[in-house]
Structure 1
Amino acid sequence: MTLPTGARLRRASLARCVAALSLAGVIVPLSLTGCKGDEKDDLGEAGETDPGDTGTEETGGELGPWEFDDVLGASNSDDDDISGKRDWLEVPVDTDDDVVDWVMPADSFTGFAEGDQVELVLAGEQPEFVRFWHGNSPVLGHDVSEVRTTYVFTPGSEDEHFSVEFDGFNHGYTLTINHLDADGEIVATDEVVVRSAPLIMNHHLQPAEHLWVVDVGTNSAMINSYATALGDKFSPVAGNTVGYDVWIQDEIEFATQVTPTNRINIIIDSIRDRGLNSFPNQIVQPNIFKQTWGVPGTETSFDSFGNLEATPPITVDGIEYPFGRIYFGKTPQWGINDVLADFLHAQTVQAPVEIDTTWLCVGHVDEFASFVPDPSSAKGFKVLLGDIDAGYALLESMDPSTALPRYAADHGFATVGDIVDDANLRALNDDVRDDYLNPIWNQFKQEFALDDSDIISVPSIFEPVNGCGGAVVALIPGMANLIVANVEGEPTKLFIPDPFLRANNDDQASDPLVSSFAASMPDGIESIFVDDWNTYHVALGEVHCGTNVLRTPIANWWEVATHLLD
């Protein structure tokens, strides 16, 4: 939604403060800010108070300043008072920190004569998604029986406080504040922005706060890798509490709403509704709430959130996207459900890009693409993209007689030569490269303003699988399907599927793909190769599919993204 005509966000002067969020037994630091709008320029225009105006006898003397702060808030959809209801459905209470305290200072009413009043006029689409309280009464926006767009009152001698709350994301309005004389004529006027924050998805350059993996026993190698590397930043989820559903990335996606005084974590809960459907309830608490877009029972594999990602900050055709751009698998016939896709497009600040993933059996963008931090790069990142030619080049550089025990057991290829010499497999991969991967490379370059120097090729080979109508899955574990664990104050760690492209499964040092992949990563990154084979790879997923990450926001939309709202 765009701002109504004439609306603008004022630059805020910010004071830093710190709060803490307890999440799953872990204290998660949050950086919060308070803001106060800057004073307006003395324009002396009609309808605005000139600070040099000394008033008249009719107005009762010199007028006070008539300028007010913008109202920036978040969706009041959590449950701060732990009543079992969304806070929007209840009268605001002291514990409700998602309600904005909007103040008209007492000195604004200096010079008010007898009979003078204040008129508030709310303009914008869907005013039912905002509510102004004055005292204990709703006076503007949504009320139980009506939607109000005008409110007139007589101010007292003290500050006038309004509690403002929103229901939903990225709703924008203007509020006109008029000083009326006893005859209803406008003495002074001001206009401020009223807006609920957009939902903003996380990207891989944001610091990782906490990670989760479902522990089902068979994935102990992966659990141990995380626990050893991350300590208390990692929590295993007991498999018996979630129906032994290991695909935690597919169930939820974390996003945020940030305001000048608060941060809300939103759990985008998918409509897949399998065992992990109960997991969000384990971490929901004040300032963390879940919401679902779409109709349960209509889900396809495309509605799992390995198919929902965001780039780091980018600039495309001169337009800055300070929170990156969302991308997901979707075509006119197939893909992520329309309700969620339309909602994400409506947030505007991350301008989603739709990718054809119908050639993949599972159909997720994380099967062939990922972004990793690269502080030495001008853009701050590198993108990893699946590359079939690089896959065959690597295999052809190896001794064809090299035994591949894992591939022999689960893919029917006993040696490197068996893969290289399979003409049908080669023809299939040539088609996948020409028809899908090459166009995706070109689309990434165009939509995300990438050049070849921004891309790291990930050796990839795909194979068909029964029951997928000719769609393909990764033969060599999809190494772009990784996790970026960039915990603040620590070296960035990548958790990468072990490709097992070697004769001795226990000897990672002998694996040419392990060596070449680690060498291709940006300086300062620690590559941790995880055995995800039995629980994830043979079940058509990898490390990223089985992990979820909460991340810290690193920018304020009202400071850096207003050009994407107007």
Structure 2
Amino acid sequence: MVSQRSLAIDTEKTTRTTYVLGTELTVNLNRCAPPFSKSFSIKCGPNVNHKVTPPAKDRSGLYPLTPNSVLLVTMDAVSETANDSKLSVRYYGEKSESLGDAVLHLTAVEISLDVDADRDGVVEKNNPNKGSWKWGPNGHGAVLLVNCDSETTYKKSVDSENDTIDKVSDLQDMSKMILRTNGPAELPEGYKLTMHISKTTSGSVRVFRPRTNAKKDTMKHKLLNLFLKDYIMVVGPDALAQEVPYLGGKTELQFFVEGLRFPDKDFNGLISINLSLLEPCGKGFPETPIFTDTVVFHVSPWIMTPNTLKPLEVYVCSTNNNYSFLKSIKNLVEKSGYKLNICFEYMNRGDRWMQDEIEFGYIDAPHHHFPVVLDSPRDGALQDFPIESILGPDFGYVTRDASNGEVSSLDSFGNLEVSPPVTVNGKSYPLGRIIIGVAFPTATHGRNMTQVVQEFLWAQKVQEPIALYSDWLYVGHVDEFMTFVPAPDRKKFRLLLASPDAGYKVFKGLQKKGHGEAEMFSGLPEAISVNKLLSNKKLQDENRYVQNCIDWNRVVLKKELGLDDEDIIDLPILFKVLEEKNCSRAVAYYPDMVNMIVLGDQLGVPKPFGPTVNGRCALETEVCSLLEPLGLKCTFIDDFAPYHKLLGEVHCGSNVLREPSSFKWWNLEL
């Protein structure tokens, strides 16, 4: 739709205005007419087009003046000098006598504030959809990254906390925006261009531009500008509006747009930036906007990476008692061909739970993407690691702090997972769905993930979360009873669930085959025969309760992920219940094999220390028989002393940075 602007003309003085190509000036001729006017005629220069409504002329060739007589004015080309185009309206009385001429002098300019609205990595000129956002492969609207990495390596902080640009490389994290203008060397006196944002937008964005005049710079100055990093902030948290230079002729002025915050409960991710042409109204009066061009950005959400994406780097802690574990992880990672990052004890200060402290994800735009670590509010002894060792150039950081300072075990990120891509009842989730654990809906004193983190996760939109019941566990993390592994068929993955029923089936099968005296935990103080384990009625009751809890989650996962029973594999794992004052919660009875690390087709599985039959652990044999047909290879890692006894396993003590998805989040149909 063509942008229109109303204009008043006057028979007592010449009216001067600036016209923006592509718009339309409307003049109410009756309102501007001298008293007793009955008709009018129009004369204009070659660059000015006019149209009158109603269009009918009388016999003398004049337009009859009616209460609804409107003049529409457009122009085809920009002016060479200010006020070089003219139009005049002559008014006539009842006897066709002239009552006066209203003269209009016009300066035509071309103004376009441009962004990459079609998301192809190029800032195209005057895209008709640049002022709105639409999801989907046929959608439109520019994409903005939160500038949450750090170009510095000393006294690090995220770049968005700095209102200056310290390194030219920082510009890569920003989205380009171009002001394209064409017209005379200078605007008419008193006219100016202003960029402005709303107060509600100001906390979410900054816009920078080169300080020097791009048109008049010599090549030497341009190089100096590049190396001096001489950029100024135009608008942002402390500046809602600022004049920007009109360079004259056919020129482009480049801006760099910086995202400051992720979508959240109070921010839908949409940002509007406006460029207005202001017209002087006379001494002592403020200028008025006569043309505004608006562009819209959507901030990239934070996106988690599922186990089915390619690993890049494995993170694990070194502690005073996990040497053997660390060696096994190192061998597995080297065999898989990935990079290993070890957090040593001077940094982790004995906190070995790498999975609980952080979650890896990424942000993505057509021009750039980089990983972003989400730091949990648990703030254990590992709390400095994400900033000191991960945050850096092209590696971002984000966190959410519980405002009341109250966090529970459910705020650790073993309680935050994401599914592979799924389709549910015809609705596609090509980036998967986030999974968190909470208290049972009917619980009155249950633990929950803190609200600010939940709100952050829901606000990202592109991986619609699923809430499972995990408060029945002593630690309370979803990774204690579920994980995903890649598969060559069906949905290209399998959901692995811990299953006490599957565990008892293995042990009863051993007993039936005459292996009742074979021992769990052989050689350890916890050693127990299969017969004695099966005779423990209390343990059976506890596992019946655990199976009920897992089955409740199984139903939810099948519904929310569109799974059939064939998409789920039950791993034989038993639990025991720890008694507390107000409630009882479960922990794994032996190392929890579902709590594994997934590196492509290589799985690092907690060694269960099951009964040995024919020289091999019966539990390992069972798990291999379930997973190896999928092309997966199991490496069983001894985590008993340094992790299992501390109520965690391999997955709890490790973390994996993975490649981003090839699917572009803005192509989602929402």
TM-score (norm 1): 0.79
1:406 aligns with 2:521: yes
Does the alignment pair 1:74 with 2:139? no
Is 1:133–1:139's contact at 8 Å kept on the other side of the alignment? yes
Shift in CA distance, 151/447, structure 1 to aligned 2, threshold 3 Å = farther
Name the CA distance, whole Å, in 1 between partners of 2:460 and 2:237. Answer: 22
1:137 shift after superposition: 4.0
Alignment of 1:258 onto 2:371: no
Letter in 2 for 1:66: N
**Which residue matches 2:342?**
236
Matched, 1:384 2:496: yes
- What does residue 117 of structure 2 align with? none
Shift of 1:45: 11
Deviation at 1:66, TM superposition (A): 3.1
Contact 2:148 2:396 in 1 (8 A): yes
Structure 1 counterpart of 2:577, one-letter code: P
Deviations 1:475-525 (A, max 9, x none): 132211111112xxxxx2111111121238xx8x62222122122225322
Q: CA deviation at 1:71?
A: 4.1
Q: Which has the larger radius of gyration?
A: 2
Match of 2:182 among 101, 109, 117: 109
Structure 2 counterpart SS, 1:544: coil
The answer for the alignment partner of 1:227 in structure 2 is 330
> What is the rounded CA distance, in whole Å, between the counterparts of 1:552 and 1:278 in structure 2?
24
Q: Which amino acid aligns with 2:204?
A: F
Q: Superposed, which structure 2 residues align to 1:125-140 within 5 Å? A: 125-134=200-209, 135=211, 136-140=231-235
Deviation at 1:456, TM superposition (A): 0.9
Indicate the residue corresponding to 1:323 in structure 2. 431
Give the deviation of 1:467 after TM superposition.
4.5
Aligned positions of 1:35-50 closer than 5 A? none
The residue identity in structure 1 corresponding to 2:539 is L
Distance of 1:104 and 1:297 partners within structure 2: 44
Aligned partner of residue 287 in structure 1, secondary structure: coil
Distance in 2, Cα, partners of 1:352 & 1:362: 21
The alpha carbon displacement at 1:195 in A equals: 2.3
Deviation at 1:453, TM superposition (A): 1.5
Alpha-carbon distance in 2 for matches of 1:275, 1:540: 17
Looking at structure 2, the residues matched to 62 and 305 of structure 1 have their Cα atoms a distance apart, in angstroms, of 53
Instruction: Output the CA distance in 2 between the equivalents of 1:478 and 1:201.
Output: 24
Describe the SS at the equivalent of 1:298: coil
CA distance change for structure 1 residues 465 and 46 in 2, over 3 Å: closer, same or farther?
farther
Match of 1:41 in 2: none
Pairing 1:154–2:262 present? no
Q: State whether residues 522 and 611 of structure 2, in contact with CA within 8 Å, keep that contact through their aligned partners in structure 1.
A: no
Amino acid of the residue matched to residue 140 of structure 1? V
Instruction: Say if 2:611 is the partner of 1:502.
Output: yes
- Residue type of the alignment partner of 2:609: F
| 2:547 counterpart SS class | helix
8 Å contact kept, 1:484–1:495: yes
Q: Is the CA contact 2:506–2:572 (under 8 Å) kept in the aligned structure 1? A: yes
Aligned residues: 500
Give, in whole Å, the separation in 2 of the partners of 1:138 and 1:250.
38
Letter paired with 1:74 = L
* 1:40-65: CA deviation from partner (whole Å, max 9, x where unpaired): xxxx9999xxxx98448545489995
- Listed one character per residue, the Cα deviations across residues 91-130 of structure 1 (whole Å, up to 9, x for unaligned) are 1231314542524264x53689944765656469543211
Q: Which amino acid aligns with 1:225?
A: S
1:537 aligns with 2:644: yes
Match of 2:261 in 1: 168
SS of 1:499's equivalent? Answer: coil
SS at match of 2:462: coil
Where do 1:272-311 residues align within 5 Å?
272-280=378-386, 281-295=388-402, 297-311=405-419
The alpha-carbon deviation at position 443 of structure 1 amounts to 0.5
Q: How many Å separate the matches in 2 of 1:421 and 1:408?
A: 21
Q: Contact (CA 8 Å) 2:109, 2:184: kept in 1 or not? A: yes
**What secondary structure is seen at the aligned counterpart in 1 of 2:584?**
coil
| Larger displacement relative to structure 2 (341-350 or 192-201) | 192-201
Q: Please name the residue that 1:216 is paired with.
A: 319
Partner of 1:19: none
Change (3 A) 1:515 1:461: same
Distance in 1 between the 2:318 and 2:637 partners? 15
Q: 1:66 to 1:180 in 2, by over 3 A?
A: farther
Please state if 1:461 is matched with 2:521: no
What is the rounded CA distance, in whole Å, between the counterparts of 1:239 and 1:380 in structure 2? 38
**RMSD, aligned α-carbons:** 3.2
Shift of 1:364: 0.4
| Distance in 2 separating the partners of 1:54 and 1:220 | 77
Q: Secondary structure at the match of 2:623?
A: helix
The worse-fitting range, judged by mean Cα deviation, of 514-523 and 301-310 is 514-523
Amino acid paired to 2:271: Y
Q: TM-score, normalised by structure 2?
A: 0.68
SS class of match (2:383): helix
Q: Which residue does the alignment assign to 2:376?
A: 270
Write out aligned runs for 1:326-365 (5 A): 326-331=434-439, 333-365=446-478
Partners of 2:660 and 2:75 in 1: CA distance: 44
Partners of 1:222 and 1:46 in 2: CA distance = 73
Is 1:248 aligned with 2:351? Answer: no
Give the deviation of 1:539 after TM superposition: 1.7
- 1:304, 1:344 → 2: CA distance? 14
> Residues 311-333 of structure 1, C-alpha deviation per residue, up to 9 Å, x if partnerless?
11122233322221111111374
Other structure's SS at 2:510 match: coil
CA contact (8 A) 2:378 2:407 kept: yes
> SS of the residue aligned with 2:342?
strand
Secondary structure of 2:169's aligned partner: coil
Q: Which stretch of the first structure deviates more once superposed, 250-259 or 96-105?
A: 96-105
| Secondary structure of 1:203's aligned partner | coil
Q: Which amino acid aligns with 2:159?
A: D
Whole-Å Cα distance in 2 between the matches of residues 420 and 430 of structure 1? 13
* Residue deviations 1:364-406 (CA, integer Å, cap 9, x gap): 00000001111322x2211101222211111110035243251
Contact 2:473 2:585 in 1 (8 A): yes
Match of 1:96 among 170, 190, 208: 170
2:158 paired residue number: 86
Amino acid at match of 1:493: Q
Q: Which runs of 5+ in 2 are unaligned?
A: 1-21, 26-73, 79-84, 86-105, 113-124, 131-140, 212-230, 264-268, 282-287
* 1:244 CA displacement: 2.2
Give aligned-pair identity as a percent. Answer: 30
Answering whether residue 619 of structure 2 is matched by residue 513 of structure 1, we say yes
State the distance in 2 between where 1:458 and 1:264 align.
35
Give the Cα separation in 1 of the matches to 2:427 and 2:184. Answer: 46
For structure 1, the 5+ residue unaligned runs are 1-43, 487-491
CA distance in 2, matches of 1:178, 1:319: 41
Q: Which amino acid aligns with 1:139?
A: V
